[in-house]
Structure 1
Amino acid sequence: MISKSDIKYVSALQIKKFRQKYGQFIVEGEKCIAELLISSYNIKKIFATSEWIATNNGLLRNISCIETIQEELKKISHHPTPPQAIAIVEIKENVEFPSLKNKISIALETIQDPGNLGTIIRIADWYGIENILCSQDCTDWMGPKTLSATMGSFTRVNIHYCDLQETISKASVPSFACVLGGSSVYDIQKKDEGMIMIGNEGKGLSESLINAADFRISIPRPGKAESLNAGIAAAVICDNFFRS
């Protein structure tokens, strides 16, 4: 069963400042944890049903597992219907900032919606994009809602928080700002390297980042919808960047 101290600790990890304090985060759900088990992340503890433990026993190695029931998992889950497993995971330390040469990366400015960030991480994984650069005021990728939206893709995509203005100025790859009134993304030929820049859900990219970009691109709008959310826009743009 889950102890009161475990309930208190896992509840604390729902909050960013405690994730930073303890150097750990939580991952919920069978799909996300299945990806975790075959990743390089260090899993500290798993709370799970007996059925889940029996099914995944061969992958658990020396991981500490606390057998419990879903009614108990409900006490530490942010989902209305609790999953069969919840893991406490160690945050990777001293992750080296990546080289952006000879690859496509995504830069995100002030993305606030956890679902959007999670979706973009999943899209990056789909297209084999290894790195996402986030402005310091983007939502935390280790938040429960973001992780759930990634469906485990966070295990294969590196997310870095940085000064985007400085990073773009030093990057030796072309940068593409997604804006209204730019060149059609449909006219872009397949790229071997570049940085796709996507801005805040309501305001888009800041003027300073737009001015720092090498190119301005847009998704043509034949219909009347006012806008696309950041996740959908990322999918359309990535598809055109990788299309032969």
Structure 2
Amino acid sequence: MVVKSQIKFIKNLQQKKYRNEHQLFVAEGVKLVRELLESDFGVYGIYTTDLGLVKKSELVHLISEVDLQKMSGLKSPNKIIGVFHYPKERDILITDWVVVLDDVRDPGNLGTIIRLCDWFGIDQLVCSLNTVDCFNPKTLQATMGSLGRMNIFYTDVIHFLKNTTLPIYGAFMNGTTVYEEQFPENGVLVMGNEANGVSAEVEALIAKKIAIPQFGKSNTESLNVATATAILLNEIRRR
């Protein structure tokens, strides 16, 4: 039986300060919870209105629709909530391409980029300390479960870039067209903030600026950062 204190505790995990304090995060929805159950994330507890959705164990708790609503951060909760432990700290593995995010702030963008990295087989994602939390509920929803297959690091990206031996590419409006670039087998792709792009400090460390050419005649200033990441990763893998 789930008591009021547990409901409040899980509800509080919707906030970053409580997630960091307890090293726990909340995932909602059948697909997302099932995906994370197949990952290396440790399980704190599963709370569901239908025990048939997951394998039964002492960590699975049957709850009412009312309690689910109280725990949830969604307007329309989807039958199940999973509470998982933060992963243990790992080292960045430089065996392929690495994506670096320079202060991406929108949870949906980050979640989509995580999903894109998973799709294109890039499992190392390095985020600046001001990039949105990857355990943000909106980010988790956008990942569609890809979070469990990614190594995500929050660090000083300037320090990381200064110490990497890989060639560093960055997305800019005025760079060399991506369709003319010959990419190496391994490298770093830097994507910037939604409003301001790549910061000046990070830009100084980028060896090659690349751009996605505009073919239309609209006044669109730039592409969404997640959309741009998709195009650039496709070109990197294609070449």
Instruction: Report the TM-score when normalising by structure 1.
Output: 0.93
Q: State the match for 1:241 in structure 2.
A: 236
Letter in 2 for 1:229: N
Q: State the match for 1:218 in structure 2.
A: 211
Letter in 2 for 1:232: T
Counterpart of 2:86 (choices 84, 91, 113) is: 91
Q: State the match for 1:208 in structure 2.
A: 201
Q: Secondary structure at the match of 2:170?
A: strand
Q: State the match for 2:68 in structure 1.
A: 73
1:54 corresponds to 2:48: no
Instruction: Report how far residue 171 of structure 1 moved.
Output: 0.3
Instruction: Report how far residue 3 of structure 1 moved.
Output: 2.2
Letter in 2 for 1:38: E
| 8 Å contact kept, 2:11–2:73 | no
1:155 corresponds to 2:148: yes
1:127 corresponds to 2:120: yes
Instruction: Report how far residue 239 of structure 1 moved.
Output: 0.4
Moved more, 161-170 or 1-10: 1-10
Q: State the match for 2:38 in structure 1.
A: 38
Instruction: Report the TM-score when normalising by structure 2.
Output: 0.95
Letter in 1 for 2:162: S
Q: Secondary structure at the match of 2:25?
A: strand
Moved more, 234-243 or 73-82: 73-82
Letter in 2 for 1:219: I
Describe the shift of the 1:63–1:165 C-alpha distance in structure 2 as closer, same or farther (beyond 3 A): farther
Instruction: Report how far residue 92 of structure 1 moved.
Output: 1.6
Instruction: Report how far residue 56 of structure 1 moved.
Output: 2.4
Alignment gaps of 5+ in structure 1: none
Task: Give distance in 2, aligned partners of 1:55 and 1:44.
Answer: 17
Task: Give distance in 1, aligned partners of 2:139 and 2:35.
Answer: 15
Q: Kindly tell me the number of residue pairs found equivalent between the two proteins.
A: 237
Q: State the match for 1:7 in structure 2.
A: 7
Alignment gaps of 5+ in structure 2: none
What is the percentage of aligned positions where both structures have the same residue?
A: 33
Instruction: Report how far residue 63 of structure 1 moved.
Output: 4.9
